[in-house]
Amino acid sequence: MSGHQVKLLPAGREFTAFDKETLLDAGLRAGLNMNYSCAGGSCGECKARVVQGSCEPLQHFDYVFSDAEKSQNMVLMCCMAAAEDLVLEASTARTSADIPQQNVKAKVANIEVLDEQHRVLHLRTPRSSTLRFLAGQYVQLQFQGLPPKDIAIASCPCNGMVLQFHVRQDGSDFSEAVFSRLKSSDHVTVTGPCGEFALDEESRRPLVMVAQDTGFGPIKSLVEHAIALELEQSMTLFWVVEQGQKPYLENYCRSWLNALDNFVFFVLEWDSTAGDSQLRALTQEIVARSPVETEIDLYVAAKPSLTQAADQAFRAKGTPPSRVMLTSIY
C-alpha cells in the first residue's frame, strides 16, 4: 500500500499516511495524540496548517473556515488525505491537562469471556463522538441505574471508537451486571478521561511495568501505545497473579514476546494472604530482574500493598520519583 510521509510541527513527529486515508486516522494510527472531536468535518477541532505539500479532500465537511484560516492554508485532518509528502502544523496533547473531559454515549459491542473470573467489556462509541484519552487513563462507566464505576481503559488511544475494559468478578453490583445482565447494544455512558498514569512519550529509557490482575488493563494500553509509536527502548512486564493461577491474557502477552525484539515478559505468583516478608521478596525479585534501576521508567498497576511495595523498592535503589507512575486497583 503506497503512502506519503507527513511531518507534524511543532512536535517534530513523522508518520506515513496511506492513499485514501485521512490525515487524522494516519496520525492516530501512528500513536499521535491528535486534537479532534467529531471526526466528521463539523467541529473544526482537528484543524491543521499546511506548511509544505498538498492535500486532497476525501469527504464533505460542514465546518466553515474564516477568511484568515483560508489565508493560512488550514485544512481539516479528518476530511483530507495527503496528495504528496506533507509538513503540517497542528497541536497535540502532551499531558492529561490537554485532554478535555467528555461524556460519550456508547454501546456494548461484545462481552468477551476469558475465564470464570474475567471478562473484557468491548464498547463502541458513535463515529461523531469518539473518546480522546491517553494510554493508561481511566473513565467512569454508568449503566442500568448503577453508580458510576471508575475503570481503566485497556485499549490503545489510536482508536477512540473501540474501547476495552477488563472486569473481574468481585461480587460488586458492577461486576454482577457485566457478567450476567449487560448485553450487546445496551447503552453505557462513558465519562472522562481521568488520571495521570500515562506514558512519557519523550523518554527513551527502558520501561518496567508491573501489573496485578486487572491492572493489566492500563498496562496493555501503555504497551499498545508504545508499539504504535514504534518506541525502541526495552519493555519488561511483570504480571503478578495469585498462586496456582495464570494470567487471563497470557497468550496475548506471548504474542508480544514473539513479535517484539525489545519485549520481556515474566509471570510471578504471589500469595496475597502471606505476610510482608513474601511481599518484600516479590518486589526484590522484580527489581533484580529489571534493567538498571536508576535508568528506567516504572509503571505499576496493582493492589495498593504491591503498588506501595514496588514504589519503595525501586526508590530505595535510586529510581527518581519523577520516573515512577503508579495506579491502584481494588
Mean pLDDT, the chain, whole residue set: 93
Residue 317 lies in a domain: yes
Instruction: Give the end of a domain, one of 144, 166, 194.
Output: 194
Which residue among 89, 119, 136 closes a domain? Answer: 89
Cell numbers linked to 327: 495506579
Find out whether 260 and 235 touch, Cβ atoms under 8 Å: yes
pLDDT tens-digit readout, 192-231: 999 999 999 889 999 999 999 999 999 999 999 999 999 9
- Do 268 and 239 form a contact (C-beta atoms < 8 A)? yes
Do 164 and 128 fall within a single domain?
yes
Length of the chain: 330
- For residue 59 the three cell numbers come to 469527504
Alpha helices (H) along 14-88: 23-29, 67-71
pLDDT of residue 2: 75
User: How many domains is the chain built from?
Assistant: 3
pLDDT of residue 293: 63
CATH number at residue 60: 3.10.20.30
The reply to whether 172 falls in a domain is: yes
One-letter identity of residue 72: Q
Query: CA-to-CA distance for 213 and 115, rounded, in angstroms?
Result: 13
Residue 21 sits in the same domain as residue 129: no
Band (256; pLDDT cuts 50, 70, 90):
very high
In this structure, of 28-42, 116-130, 226-240, the range with the lowest mean pLDDT score is 28-42
Q: In the beta sheet, which residues pair with residue 119?
A: 113, 167
Q: Do 257 and 312 have their domain in common?
A: yes
Is 201 within the bounds of a domain?
Answer: no
- Predicted pLDDT at 231: 92
256, 213: one domain: yes
- CA neighbours within 13 Å on the CB side: how many for 68? 0
CATH of the domain at 292: 3.40.50.80
Domain that holds residue 13: 3-89
Q: Are residues 213 and 324 in the same domain?
A: yes
Residue 57 grid coordinates: 479532500
Choose among 109, 91, 97, 98: nearest CA to 161.
109
Question: Among residues 89, 114, 136, which one ends one of the domains?
Answer: 89
Structural domain includes residue 202: no
Q: How confident is the model at residue 1 (pLDDT cuts 50, 70, 90)?
A: low
Residues 255 and 324 both lie in one domain:
yes
pLDDT tens figures, 53-112: 999 999 889 999 999 999 999 999 999 999 999 999 998 888 888 899 999 999 999 999
Same domain (yes/no): 129, 85: no
